[in-house]
Structure 1
Amino acid sequence: MMKATEKLDVREIRRKLGLNQSQFWSKIGVTQSGGSRYESGRNIPRPVQALLRLVHVEQIDINKVKRDDVEVAEYLKTTNPELYKTLKKEARSKRKER
């Protein structure tokens, strides 16, 4: 897993996925021209970096994530961090099996 301080090489990620700029950036709500600027070195805002990681690194379909899912995850994270970590690990290993 990438650390927050690591710089994403978004162009490299996009190329490895075999997507053009429009396909890649539209999945997270960024225009092609905006994505091009990010690939050319413009700083990527943290929320956009987070979406990039979720969608293109973790391979999560954000269209299927519901508000309830986020609220339950946040609740678990604060009330039972050990259970949260265990469930997160299990979910990751299941994704890798696919």
Structure 2
Amino acid sequence: MKLQTDSEIDGAAAKQLRTEAGMGQRKFWARIGVSQTTGHYYEGGRRIPKPVRTLLFLNYVAGIEVDTGTIEGAERARQLAAVR
């Protein structure tokens, strides 16, 4: 999937990214700090908030792993998002 910006990520694009990564919902969404249930809603068409779209883009499009489980990791994600 060729995405240029995080604004192109909607539920269908997120699902396609997950399928291309060969991951189940739980693992895919947990990697960016989102529950499986919420990820399911996003894939079903619920609007994905900008911070979540940014994390999806960084992790699954740009290939930059971001640890959202720590304060340092969350700060790094915010810095990377600001650079883009």
Whether these two folds match at TM > 0.5 is: yes
The residue type paired with residue 34 of structure 1 is T
Equivalent of residue 31 in structure 2, options 27, 30, 33 = 27
The alpha carbon displacement at 1:7 in A equals 3.7
Structure 1 gap segments, 5+ residues each: 78-87, 89-98
Runs of 4+ in 1 over 2 A off after TM superposition: 3-8, 63-68
Q: Would you say how many aligned residue pairs link Structure 1 and Structure 2?
A: 74
For residue 4 of structure 2, what is the aligned residue in structure 1?
A: 2
Structure 2 gap segments, 5+ residues each: none
The alpha carbon displacement at 1:3 in A equals 3.0
Distance across 1 between alignment mates of 2:46 and 2:62: 23
Matched-pair identity in %: 33
2:47 is aligned with 1:43:
yes
TM, length-normalised to structure 1 = 0.62
Greater radius of gyration (CA): 1
The alpha carbon displacement at 1:61 in A equals 1.5
TM, length-normalised to structure 2 = 0.71
